[in-house]
Structure 1
Amino acid sequence: MLERFIRGLARAKWAILLAWLAIAAVSVLALPDLASIVRQTEQKFVPADSESVVAKNLLTRINPESTTKSSAILVYSREGGMTGQDRAWLKAKAAEIAALSGKDGFKSVQSAYETPELASKFRSKDGTTEMLIVGFAGTDNDAVTQDAVDHLNERIKDAPAGSKVELTGSAPIGKDFQQSSSDGLQKTELLTVALVLVILLIVFRSPVAPFIPLITIGISLVITRGLVAAATHWGMPVSSFTESFLIAVMFGAGTDYCILLIQRFREELSRDGDKVEALVRTVRTVGKTVAFSASTVFVAFFLIGFAQFGLYQSAVGVSIGVAVTLVAGLTLTPALLMLFGQATFWPSKVAGGQGHGDSKLWGAMAALAARRPVAIVLVTVILLAPLTLLYHNKRSFDDLAEISPSLGSVQGFHQVERSFGSGEVFPLSIALTSSVSMRTPEALAAMESASASVAKLSGVKEVRSAVRPLGAQLADLTVSDQLTKTSEALRQLKDGVNRVADGLRDAETSVSGGQGDVDKLAGGLRTMAGKTKDAQAGLDQIHDGMKQSSKGADALAGGLKQSAVVSSSMGTDLTALLKSHPELKDDPSMRQLLGKQQGLADGLKQLQGGADRLSSSFAQLNPGIAQVASGLGQLSSGQTEAADGAVKLRGGLKALTGGLSAGAQGLVDVSTGLAQVQDATKAIGDSQIPGWNLPQAALDSPEMQQSLDYYIAKDGKTAKFDVVLAVNPYSPEAQDTVGQVRDALRHSLAGSALKDANVYVSGTSAQITELKAISKSDFLRTGGFVLIGIFIVLMIMLRSLLAPLYLLLSLVFNFLVTMGIVEFIFVKLLGKEGLSWSASFFIFLIIVALGVDYSIFLMARFKEEYRPGGIRQAMTKAMSTTGGVIVSAAVIMGGTFAALMMSGVNTLLQIGAGIVIGLILYAFVFMGLVVPALANLFGEANWFRGKRGNTARRQE
Structure 2
Amino acid sequence: MLERFIRGLARAKWAILLGWLAIAAVAVLALPDLASIVRQTEQKFVPADSESVVAKNMLARINPESTTRSSAILVYSREGGMNDQDRAWLKAKASELAGLDGKDGFKSVQSAYETPELASKFRSKDGTTEMLIVGFSGTDNDALTQDAVDSLNERIKGAPEGSKVELTGSAPIGKDFQESSSNGLKKTELLTVGLVLVILLIVFRSPVAPFVPLITIGISLVITRGLVAAATHWGMPVSSFTESFLIAVMFGAGTDYCILLIQRFREELSRDGDKVEALVRTVRTVGKTVAFSASTVFVAFFLIGFAQFGLYQSAVGVSIGVAVTLIAGLTLTPALLMIFGQATFWPSRIADGQGHGESKMWNAMASLAARRPVAILLVTVILLAPLTLLYHNKRSFDDLAEISPSLGSVQGFRQVERSFGSGEVFPLSIAITSDASMRTPEALAAMETASASVAKLSGVKEVRSAVRPLGVQLADLTVTDQLTKTSEALQQLKEGVDKVAGGLTDAESSIAGGQGDVDKLAGGLRTMAGKTKEAQAGLDRIYGGLQQASKGAEQLAGGVGQSVSVSDSMSSDLTALLKSHPELKDDASMRKLMATQQGLSDGLKQLKGGADRLSSSFSQLNPGVAKVAGGLGQLASGQTDAADGAAKLGTGLKNLTGGLSAGAQGLGDVSKGLAQVKEAEQSIGDSQIPGWNLPQSALDSPELQQALDYYIAKDGKTAKIDVVLAVNPYSPEAQDTVGQVRDALRHSLSGSSLADAKVYVSGTSAQISELKSLSKSDFMRTGAFVLIGIFIVLMIMLRSLLAPLYLLLSLVFNFLVTMGIVEFTFVKLLGKEGLSWSASFFIFLIIVALGVDYSIFLMARFKEEYRPGGIRQAMTKAMSTTGGVIVSAAVIMGGTFAALMMSGVNTLLQIGAGIVVGLILYAFVFMGLVVPALANLFGEANWFFGKARKKKKYEGETNV
TM over 0.5: yes
- Shorter-chain TM range is over 0.9
Shift of 1:561: 4.8
> Could you tell me how far apart the structure 1 residues matched to 2:292 and 2:905 are?
33
Counterpart residue number, 1:151? 151
1:573 is aligned, of 556, 563, 580, to 563
Counterpart residue number, 1:613? 620
Relative to 1, partners in 2 of residues 1:753 and 1:799: Cα closer, same or farther, differing over 3 Å? same
Relative to 1, partners in 2 of residues 1:953 and 1:743: Cα closer, same or farther, differing over 3 Å? farther
Counterpart residue number, 2:579? none
Asked whether the 8 Å contact 1:373–1:933 carries over to 2, the reply is: yes
RMSD: 1.8
Counterpart residue number, 1:362? 362
Aligned length: 938
Relative to 1, partners in 2 of residues 1:612 and 1:428: Cα closer, same or farther, differing over 3 Å? closer
Counterpart residue number, 1:85? 85
Counterpart residue number, 1:559? 549
Counterpart residue number, 2:386? 386
Relative to 1, partners in 2 of residues 1:937 and 1:112: Cα closer, same or farther, differing over 3 Å? same
Query: Which amino acid in structure 2 is aligned with residue 443 of structure 1?
Result: A
Asked whether the 8 Å contact 1:76–1:131 carries over to 2, the reply is: yes
Per-residue CA deviation, residues 595-651 of structure 1 (Å, 9 max, x unaligned), is 33333333343344343333333444444444444543x6xxxxxx86x55763674
Counterpart residue number, 1:96? 96
Per-residue CA deviation, residues 129-151 of structure 1 (Å, 9 max, x unaligned), is 00000000000000000000000
Counterpart residue number, 1:680? 679
Shift of 1:786: 0.4
Asked whether the 8 Å contact 2:624–2:656 carries over to 1, the reply is: no
For the pair 1:787 / 2:787, whether they are aligned, the reply is yes
For the pair 1:665 / 2:664, whether they are aligned, the reply is yes
Counterpart residue number, 1:75? 75
Relative to 1, partners in 2 of residues 1:802 and 1:607: Cα closer, same or farther, differing over 3 Å? closer
> Could you tell me how far apart the structure 2 residues matched to 1:101 and 1:951 are?
80
For the pair 1:17 / 2:17, whether they are aligned, the reply is yes
> Could you tell me how far apart the structure 1 residues matched to 2:353 and 2:651 are?
148
SS in 2 for 1:74: strand
Asked whether the 8 Å contact 1:74–1:131 carries over to 2, the reply is: yes
Q: Which moved more, 1:563-572 or 1:342-351?
A: 563-572
Counterpart residue number, 1:531? none
Asked whether the 8 Å contact 2:631–2:645 carries over to 1, the reply is: no
SS in 1 for 2:88: helix
Query: Which amino acid in structure 1 is aligned with residue 286 of structure 2?
Result: V
> Could you tell me how far apart the structure 1 residues matched to 2:938 and 2:870 are?
13
For the pair 1:471 / 2:468, whether they are aligned, the reply is no
Q: Which moved more, 1:932-941 or 1:301-310?
A: 932-941
For the pair 1:521 / 2:521, whether they are aligned, the reply is yes
Relative to 1, partners in 2 of residues 1:493 and 1:686: Cα closer, same or farther, differing over 3 Å? farther
SS in 1 for 2:202: helix
Asked whether the 8 Å contact 1:864–1:952 carries over to 2, the reply is: no
> Could you tell me how far apart the structure 1 residues matched to 2:59 and 2:951 are?
67
For the pair 1:596 / 2:603, whether they are aligned, the reply is yes
Asked whether the 8 Å contact 1:508–1:657 carries over to 2, the reply is: no
Q: What pairs with 1:443-458 in structure 2 (closer than 5 Å)?
A: 443-458=443-458
> Could you tell me how far apart the structure 1 residues matched to 2:644 and 2:434 are?
80
Shift of 1:953: 6.9
Counterpart residue number, 1:891? 891
Asked whether the 8 Å contact 2:624–2:652 carries over to 1, the reply is: no
Asked whether the 8 Å contact 1:45–1:311 carries over to 2, the reply is: yes
Shift of 1:123: 0.5
Identify unmatched segments of 5+ residues in structure 2. Answer: 576-592
> Could you tell me how far apart the structure 2 residues matched to 1:686 and 1:813 are?
63
Asked whether the 8 Å contact 2:82–2:127 carries over to 1, the reply is: yes
Asked whether the 8 Å contact 1:567–1:600 carries over to 2, the reply is: no
> Could you tell me how far apart the structure 1 residues matched to 2:708 and 2:682 are?
33
Query: Which amino acid in structure 2 is aligned with residue 28 of structure 1?
Result: V
Query: Which amino acid in structure 1 is aligned with residue 281 of structure 2?
Result: R
Relative to 1, partners in 2 of residues 1:664 and 1:296: Cα closer, same or farther, differing over 3 Å? closer
> Could you tell me how far apart the structure 2 residues matched to 1:665 and 1:631 are?
36
SS in 1 for 2:426: coil
Relative to 1, partners in 2 of residues 1:180 and 1:587: Cα closer, same or farther, differing over 3 Å? same
Per-residue CA deviation, residues 561-595 of structure 1 (Å, 9 max, x unaligned), is 53144224322333144325524577333333333
Query: Which amino acid in structure 2 is aligned with residue 673 of structure 1?
Result: K
Counterpart residue number, 1:549? 539
Bigger Rg, structure 1 or 2: 1
Q: What pairs with 1:524-923 in structure 2 (closer than 5 Å)?
A: 524=524, 535-553=525-543, 555-556=545-546, 558-579=548-569, 582-583=572-573, 587-632=594-639, 644-645=643-644, 648=647, 651-652=650-651, 655=654, 658-659=657-658, 661-663=660-662, 665-684=664-683, 686-687=685-686, 688-923=688-923
Query: Which amino acid in structure 2 is aligned with residue 696 of structure 1?
Result: Q
> Could you tell me how far apart the structure 2 residues matched to 1:594 and 1:339 are?
104
Counterpart residue number, 2:587? none
Shift of 1:357: 1.9
For the pair 1:933 / 2:933, whether they are aligned, the reply is yes
Relative to 1, partners in 2 of residues 1:810 and 1:609: Cα closer, same or farther, differing over 3 Å? closer
> Could you tell me how far apart the structure 2 residues matched to 1:893 and 1:660 are?
107
SS in 2 for 1:721: strand
> Could you tell me how far apart the structure 2 residues matched to 1:753 and 1:190 are?
64
Question: How does the TM-score come out when normalised to structure 2?
Answer: 0.95
Relative to 1, partners in 2 of residues 1:836 and 1:607: Cα closer, same or farther, differing over 3 Å? closer
For the pair 1:943 / 2:950, whether they are aligned, the reply is no
Relative to 1, partners in 2 of residues 1:951 and 1:310: Cα closer, same or farther, differing over 3 Å? farther
Shift of 1:702: 1.1
Shift of 1:215: 0.4
Per-residue CA deviation, residues 365-387 of structure 1 (Å, 9 max, x unaligned), is 11111111111111111111111
SS in 2 for 1:233: helix
> Could you tell me how far apart the structure 2 residues matched to 1:886 and 1:950 are?
26
Relative to 1, partners in 2 of residues 1:922 and 1:626: Cα closer, same or farther, differing over 3 Å? closer
Relative to 1, partners in 2 of residues 1:250 and 1:506: Cα closer, same or farther, differing over 3 Å? same
SS in 2 for 1:587: helix
Shift of 1:675: 4.4
Per-residue CA deviation, residues 827-846 of structure 1 (Å, 9 max, x unaligned), is 11000000000000000000
Q: Which moved more, 1:928-937 or 1:327-336?
A: 928-937
Q: Which moved more, 1:43-52 or 1:565-574?
A: 565-574
Per-residue CA deviation, residues 269-296 of structure 1 (Å, 9 max, x unaligned), is 1111111111111111110000000000
Shift of 1:654: 5.3
Relative to 1, partners in 2 of residues 1:489 and 1:342: Cα closer, same or farther, differing over 3 Å? same
Asked whether the 8 Å contact 1:463–1:723 carries over to 2, the reply is: yes
> Could you tell me how far apart the structure 1 residues matched to 2:569 and 2:666 are?
32
> Could you tell me how far apart the structure 2 residues matched to 1:778 and 1:614 are?
86
Relative to 1, partners in 2 of residues 1:555 and 1:951: Cα closer, same or farther, differing over 3 Å? farther
Asked whether the 8 Å contact 2:621–2:656 carries over to 1, the reply is: no
Shift of 1:540: 4.1
Relative to 1, partners in 2 of residues 1:348 and 1:175: Cα closer, same or farther, differing over 3 Å? same
Asked whether the 8 Å contact 1:387–1:817 carries over to 2, the reply is: yes
Shift of 1:499: 1.4
> Could you tell me how far apart the structure 2 residues matched to 1:653 and 1:423 are?
75
SS in 2 for 1:79: coil
> Could you tell me how far apart the structure 2 residues matched to 1:654 and 1:349 are?
143
Q: What pairs with 1:213-228 in structure 2 (closer than 5 Å)?
A: 213-228=213-228
> Could you tell me how far apart the structure 2 residues matched to 1:649 and 1:299 are?
117
> Could you tell me how far apart the structure 1 residues matched to 2:761 and 2:231 are?
33
Q: What pairs with 1:224-239 in structure 2 (closer than 5 Å)?
A: 224-239=224-239
Shift of 1:667: 4.9
